[in-house]
Amino acid sequence: MDKILVTRSSMPPIDEFIDEIKELWDSHWLTNMGVKHKQFQSELRSYLGVKNIELFTNGHMALELTLQALGLGDVSKSSDYEVITTPYTFASTTHAIVRNGLKPVFCDIKQDNYTIDEDKIEALITDKTVAIMPVHVYGNICNIEKINDIAQKHNLKVIYDAAHSFGERYKGVKVGTFGDVSCFSFHATKVFNTIEGGAACFNDDSLGQRLYDLKNFGIHDAETVAAVGSNAKMNEFCASMGICNLRHISEEISKRKKVDERYRQHLEKIDGIRLNPVDKDTEYNYAYFPIVIDEDKFGKSRDDVYEKLVSKDIIPRKYFYPLVNDFDCYKDKYDSSKTPVAKYVSDRVLALPIYAGLELSIVDDICEILGEC
Ligand SMILES: Cc1ncc(COP(=O)(O)O)c(C=O)c1O
């Protein structure tokens, strides 16, 4: 049996992709906002139900350039302006803040759904705070109502890292519409991929030109360079992959749902294993299947279970361990004991394999191995 990895990239039927990219051989137009970029941008705008959307080379550049476009920091030097965020995330969220010359301030998470603890945000606000950057981690939606109230009260921007929540709805509303900006990742490992890619979704029309300038060198026309921009444009091949994968997204999500349900059937009643919560207001995308293992009740630690699965060629991932505030590049400046819930979860979490093509019999095998533990 081949190794079963935590995820496997979704790919459209090869003929469909070849049909899509044939035009590129005719036009020889490979990047620089060509027809595929424009078509994908427009299709995605309707699918996500958002007012404005800019496409990027990846989700990280969407986040990093969004912070820059909002004018919160100064990329040329460190400022002491602060952004309240979660340590329970992928490196990108925090790096985007720091690379803008801003200071991340880590807020603890909630034990129930691992998103930022909205009740602990206000105590961290100072006269230097300029924004809140929460993460819909594993597709669990943050308390957007309360975060919005806090942001309005203190005049702060809210940038959602929505990398895990593509295609989801909360109380019937599509997730890309929340906050000042919501950023998605279309990395190969995500529910929806463009090989590499990302997008920023926003309501404020004036942000569009700034984001566009930042992703395209500030070039307005052949003789006008109006802003000091970078290069973070999505190319025509990635946009073509997006056009194809978008046609299959609902089928992808329903296949993942079946995998999720199968895991739950097996694991729901096991003492010491906590499953990702199910919130009745959320329409999920089943991006991840994290379990939190309590060694005292389960009898084995997260690391024991990890080793056991790896020995059987099942490769789960410790998402998210280590915590960002324990990373080598941040640990001298932060103390992860100040975010104890995040620390607790990070030390016990294991993300099990989940993807559309994962056979249910393999889910049974994985659960049997967990049972043996
Ligand atoms: C929470 C989170 N934020 C940001 C990113 C960055 O996205 P990308 O890999 O597309 O740059 C990722 C994923 O990789 C992620 O999981």
Mean pLDDT by 10 residues, the chain (373 residues): 93 98 97 98 98 98 98 74 98 97 97 98 97 98 98 98 98 98 98 98 97 98 97 98 98 98 96 97 98 97 98 97 98 96 98 98 97 89
Q: Are 97 and 122 in contact (CB under 8 A)?
A: no
Q: For residue 79, what pLDDT is reported?
A: 76
Structural domains present in the chain: 14-247 (3.40.640.10), 248-372 (3.90.1150.10)
Residue 62 alpha carbon to ligand 1 centre in Å: 10
Contacts of 285 (CB under 8 A, 6+ apart): 139, 164, 165, 166, 167, 168, 191, 253, 256
Probe target for ligand 1 pocket from 57, 95, 185, 288, with the most ligand atoms within 8 Å of CB: 185
Q: Are 89 and 98 in contact (CB under 8 A)?
A: no
Probe target for ligand 1 pocket from 92, 116, 234, with the most ligand atoms within 8 Å of CB: 92
In degrees to the nearest 10, what's the CA dihedral of 171, 43, 93, 69? -110
Regarding pTM above 0.85, the answer is yes
Residue 233 alpha carbon to ligand 1 centre in Å: 16
Report d(CA 8, CA 346) in Å as an integer: 23
Phi-psi region of 27 (alpha: psi -120 to 50; beta: other; left: phi over 0): alpha
Report d(CA 201, CA 145) in Å as an integer: 18
Closest C-alpha to ligand 1, atom 16: 90
As a residue count, the chain comes to 373
Report d(CA 161, CA 59) in Å as an integer: 9
State if residue 163 touches ligand 1 by the CB under 6 angstroms criterion.
yes
State if residue 93 touches ligand 1 by the CB under 6 angstroms criterion.
yes
DSSP 145: H
Q: Are 56 and 198 in contact (CB under 8 A)?
A: yes
State if residue 165 touches ligand 1 by the CB under 6 angstroms criterion.
no
State if residue 60 touches ligand 1 by the CB under 6 angstroms criterion.
yes
Q: For residue 187, what pLDDT is reported?
A: 98
Q: What number does the ligand 1 atom closest to the CA of 161 have? A: 3
